[in-house]
Amino acid sequence: MNKEKLLEFKNKKKAKNPKFLRQDSYKKKRLSKVWRKSRGWDSKQRKRMQRQAIVEPGYGSPKSLRGVHKSGLLIVKVVSLSDVKKINPKTQGAVVSGKIGLKRKLTIIEELLKHKITIFNIKNAEAYLKSKKEDISKKKEKKEEKSKEEEKKETQKKEEKESIDEKVSEEEKKKLEKQEIDKLLTKKF
């Protein structure tokens, strides 16, 4: 059978398949809805006393289409720029890893768009790029503003110290220094 017919067959079969839920996931919130095989000794699901569907080989898709996206492209996980160069855009699509940082992620997405490779886990890659770049620029501006404010505070403190130093005599300076040293010595770490 050709690939298109197999994809059609797979999609129809997936539509007919039941939802495979973990045992008692509807009873307890802490249990995820993702399928886990029941292994309990007295498990009713394992003994097939329940009507809930169990994952079995008959529900699977054709062997030649395992690891293939609905669009018919093979799924390739991308972690670095070298992975992007290995992808064939006609037969493969990319899934950008979630473990990488934002800056590297943005460079990888730009490279994927340049090579016209489909990205499965980002719906609108261009809009995503735009919004994230704006967020980065806003963060930089905030950082610069904070650093300027800190510099202003430091200069004000220096000016205050200088003005105090001018007003205070030598004996009073020694007393102030002694007080500062005492504060440091009694300070708990």
pLDDT tens-place string over residues 125-156: 999 999 999 999 999 999 999 999 999 999 88
- Judged against a pLDDT cut of 80, whether residue 1 lies above it is answered with no
Q: How far apart are the C-alpha atoms of 23 and 45, rounded to whole Å?
A: 7
Q: How far is CA 16 from the centre of its chain?
A: 32
- Residues 6 or more apart whose CB falls under 8 angstroms from that of 115 comprise 84, 87, 89
Identify the CA nearest to 38 among candidates 51, 22, 53, 27: 22
Read off the pLDDT band of 97 (50, 70, 90).
very high
- Judged against a pLDDT cut of 80, whether residue 32 lies above it is answered with yes
- Judged against a pLDDT cut of 90, whether residue 157 lies above it is answered with no
Q: How far apart are the C-alpha atoms of 35 and 19, rounded to whole Å?
A: 9
Q: Look at residue 75 and give its three-state secondary structure.
A: strand
- Judged against a pLDDT cut of 80, whether residue 170 lies above it is answered with no
Read off the pLDDT band of 2 (50, 70, 90).
confident
Q: 44-53, 84-93, 157-166: which range is least confident on average?
A: 157-166
Position 179 scores a pLDDT of 86
Identify the CA nearest to 52 among candidates 75, 76, 8, 21: 21
Position 175 scores a pLDDT of 83
Q: How far is CA 66 from the centre of its chain?
A: 26
Q: How far apart are the C-alpha atoms of 183 and 155, rounded to whole Å?
A: 23
- Judged against a pLDDT cut of 70, whether residue 189 lies above it is answered with no
pLDDT tens-digit profile of 45-74? Answer: 999 898 888 999 989 888 888 888 888 899
Instruction: Provide the token pair at 78.
Output: 């991308």
Query: In three state form, how does the secondary structure of 130-146 look?
Result: HHHHHHHHHHHHHHHHH
- Judged against a pLDDT cut of 70, whether residue 78 lies above it is answered with yes
Pairing label, strands 74-78, 92-96: parallel
Position 165 scores a pLDDT of 66
Provide, rounded to the nearest whole percent, the portion of the chain with pLDDT above 70.
Answer: 96
- Judged against a pLDDT cut of 90, whether residue 82 lies above it is answered with yes
